[in-house]
Chain A
Amino acid sequence: MSDALIQLIIILALALVVVAYAFGNSAILVWVERKLCGHIQRRPGPCEVGPFGLFQTAIDGIKLMGKQIIIPRNADKRLFMVAPVLSFVPPIIALMVIPFSKHVQVRDLDIGLLFVLSLAAMNVLAILIAGWSSANKYSLFGAVRAVAQNVAYEIPLLICLITAVMWTGSLSLGDIVNAQGGTWFIFYPWGFVAFLVYFITGMAETNRAPFDMPEAESELTAGFHTEYAGMGFGLFFLGEYTNMLLMASLATALFLGGYNLPFIELTGDGVMTELLRVFIFLAKAYGMIIVMIWIRWTFPRVRFDQLMNFCWKILIPVSMANLAITALVMKLGEL
């Protein structure tokens, strides 16, 4: 009995760490995004508050918390309040199965990948609820776009993940990383194609530019979060950045060999090796996030029909063909 209690306390403490990490991650990523955006546009970005403007996000967070939460008169109040929470909580829960290193993982579920995907899909629901309950045409259009886009892009995303799961033969994220070892999945041509398609769909799933149709400000003011002020908007923001981290971590675990170095097996379970593994994992994940930010500030937003055509006519056939080729290679390997 007391053993179970200790287990529970450990899990709760770890969950707390994950939540704190998600908050810190968002704060740092907002700063990184603004800084990178600034430098790409030859501005310095935030530079006044704290060293290199590092405390800017903290100040902005305090400002958002201090703001009044305004609920439109015709809004569905309950759903309106639930939507931001629904957008923010699932990606944090999903972070719990991400294997940051061999032992730094809250829970290694046997169906870890399915767990992450089902929680990541909640983001669409949150956006739909937000858009619908706001009683605002801009919000509703943003939500409609988000649903159409996410449903379409989920197909190639899942096919790519199935490719990786077939190759490694497990749905548990820890096992997937271990199965890759030093030869990451991305080193195989089919793995590389799967990674590329996953990366593109991941950007679309997190509603990042150039696929940020749900919040296209030139057409829809702010899309689904038009009516949200203060911390409601803040939670959507946090959710977006946590989702980015989730997408990048998943890509790291599935395609980039997780916490493994290329071609070299890291042996040992010491604290230093574990720290090194965490460092390797985070370096990969944040490298991907930086590329995502870089892409955002390089390319203009695509048109909606281009977005859908790209998915249905290119991404889905490519990922299907890739899946077939992977299956063929595996079968031939068995013979």
Chain B
Amino acid sequence: MIATIKEIIGGAKSLLVGMSITAKYGMSKTVTAHYPFETLDITPNFRGHIDLVVNTKTGKHKCISCMMCQRTCPSGCIEIKAEKPEGAKKKQLVEYHLDFTKCSLCGNCVEVCPTKALEYSNEYNLVGTSRHDFHFELVERVVKRADAMGIVVVEEKAEEPKPEKAAAEAPVGDDNSE
């Protein structure tokens, strides 16, 4: 009898404690972000699709066209087109094509890159009406992102004529791709 009464009183107390907790949370501010109107900051560790790192000084990418990422990619989603203009010492990156529909976000390409030219982008709002919307051209994105970051692209003075040649030869590359 006494045990039952004790149980009832103890139980009633615990019920009140529970209700005070929900009341406390009910009064406190909501934590929901009203998504389309309000977005959260993404953690820098977020693994989006890969992107070429923008050199903050020159506004250019750091890729040396070694093709390591293309070779290491298990899904075969990276396609690099690089050319060596006449008289140039280094290969130059013309196209860096990423097929994100195949990508499994393993990150091998980022790890294998000798110049740390690849990073994960912070973009999570990826929406498209066709799968072709997820084929990214990373060289074009570098130009746009440098622009967005407000970096003035510095042309290398010594090799100034060579990029022009590369640009002249670019249409040939396009013909090959067709």
Report the bound CA distance from A99 to B160 in whole Å.
92
Query: A40–B32 contact, CB under 8 A?
Result: no
Query: A42–B28 contact, CB under 8 A?
Result: yes
Query: A43–B15 contact, CB under 8 A?
Result: no
Contacting residues, chain A, for B124 (C-beta < 8 A): none
One of B17-25, B46-54, B65-73, B74-82 at the interface: B17-25
One of A26-34, A73-81, A230-238, A295-303 at the interface: A295-303
Which among A38, A40, A43, A44 is the interface contact of B22 at CB below 8 angstroms?
A: A40
Residue in A closest to B7 when the chains form the complex, CB atoms: A314
Interface of chain A residues 36 through 89 with chain B (CB within 8 A)? 36, 38-44, 47
- A39-B19 CB under 8 A given contacts A44-B32, A314-B8: no
Say whether A188 faces chain B, with CB atoms less than 8 Å apart: no
Which among B4, B21, B26 is the interface contact of A39 at CB below 8 angstroms?
A: B26
Query: A42–B23 contact, CB under 8 A?
Result: no
Contacting residues, chain B, for A38 (C-beta < 8 A): 30
Say whether A294 faces chain B, with CB atoms less than 8 Å apart: yes
Contacting residues, chain A, for B31 (C-beta < 8 A): 42-43
Residue in B closest to A210 when the chains form the complex, CB atoms: B15
Min CB–CB distance B12 → chain A (angstroms): 9
User: Number of contact residues on B: which range applies?
Assistant: 10 to 19
- A294-B30 CB under 8 A given contacts A40-B25, A42-B25, A314-B8: no
Report the bound CA distance from A55 to B26 in whole Å.
22
Contacting residues, chain A, for B4 (C-beta < 8 A): 314
Min CB–CB distance A2 → chain B (angstroms): 55
Query: A36–B18 contact, CB under 8 A?
Result: no
Report the bound CA distance from A69 to B25 in whole Å.
39
Which among A39, A295, A297 is the interface contact of B30 at CB below 8 angstroms?
A: A39
Query: A40–B30 contact, CB under 8 A?
Result: no
Which among A42, A294, A295, A299 is the interface contact of B32 at CB below 8 angstroms?
A: A42
Residue in B closest to A196 when the chains form the complex, CB atoms: B12
Query: B15–A299 contact, CB under 8 A?
Result: yes
We find that the number of chain A residues with CB closer than 8 angstroms to chain B is: 15
Residue in A closest to B15 when the chains form the complex, CB atoms: A299
Contacting residues, chain A, for B22 (C-beta < 8 A): 40, 294, 297-298
Query: A294–B8 contact, CB under 8 A?
Result: no
Contacting residues, chain B, for A39 (C-beta < 8 A): 25-27, 30
Contacting residues, chain B, for A42 (C-beta < 8 A): 25, 28-32
Interface centre among B8, B18, B22 (most CB of A within 10 A): B22
Min CB–CB distance A200 → chain B (angstroms): 11
Report the bound CA distance from A36 to B25 in whole Å.
11
Residue in A closest to B29 when the chains form the complex, CB atoms: A42
Which among B19, B27, B29, B32 is the interface contact of A298 at CB below 8 angstroms?
A: B19
Report the bound CA distance from A38 to B18 in whole Å.
17
Report the bound CA distance from A257 to B32 in whole Å.
41
Min CB–CB distance A315 → chain B (angstroms): 11
Interface of chain A residues 297 through 334 with chain B (CB within 8 A)? 297-299, 314
Report the bound CA distance from A133 to B28 in whole Å.
46
Query: B19–A44 contact, CB under 8 A?
Result: no
Contacting residues, chain A, for B34 (C-beta < 8 A): 44, 47
Report the bound CA distance from A42 to B19 in whole Å.
15
Contacting residues, chain B, for A47 (C-beta < 8 A): 34
Report the bound CA distance from A47 to B19 in whole Å.
25
Which among A43, A299, A314 is the interface contact of B18 at CB below 8 angstroms?
A: A299
Contacting residues, chain A, for B8 (C-beta < 8 A): 314
Which among A43, A294, A314 is the interface contact of B19 at CB below 8 angstroms?
A: A294
Contacting residues, chain A, for B21 (C-beta < 8 A): 298
Query: B25–A294 contact, CB under 8 A?
Result: no
Report the bound CA distance from A43 to B33 in whole Å.
9
Min CB–CB distance B40 → chain A (angstroms): 15
Report the bound CA distance from A297 to B27 in whole Å.
14
Report the bound CA distance from A294 to B31 in whole Å.
19
Min CB–CB distance A12 → chain B (angstroms): 42
Report the bound CA distance from A117 to B145 in whole Å.
72
Residue in A closest to B18 when the chains form the complex, CB atoms: A298
Report the bound CA distance from A43 to B31 in whole Å.
6
Chain A residues close to B by CB (< 8 Å):
36, 38-44, 47, 294-295, 297-299, 314
Top 3 A-B pairs, shortest CB-CB distance: A298-B22, A40-B26, A39-B26
The contact sample of 7 A-B pairs, CB cut-off 8 A, is A41-B25, A42-B31, A43-B30, A44-B30, A294-B26, A298-B19, A299-B15
Interface contacts beyond A42-B29, A42-B30, A298-B21: sample of 20 additional A-B pairs, CB < 8 Å, sorted by A: A38-B30, A39-B25, A39-B27, A40-B22, A40-B26, A42-B25, A42-B28, A42-B31, A43-B30, A43-B31, A44-B30, A44-B32, A44-B34, A294-B22, A294-B26, A297-B22, A298-B18, A299-B15, A299-B18, A314-B8
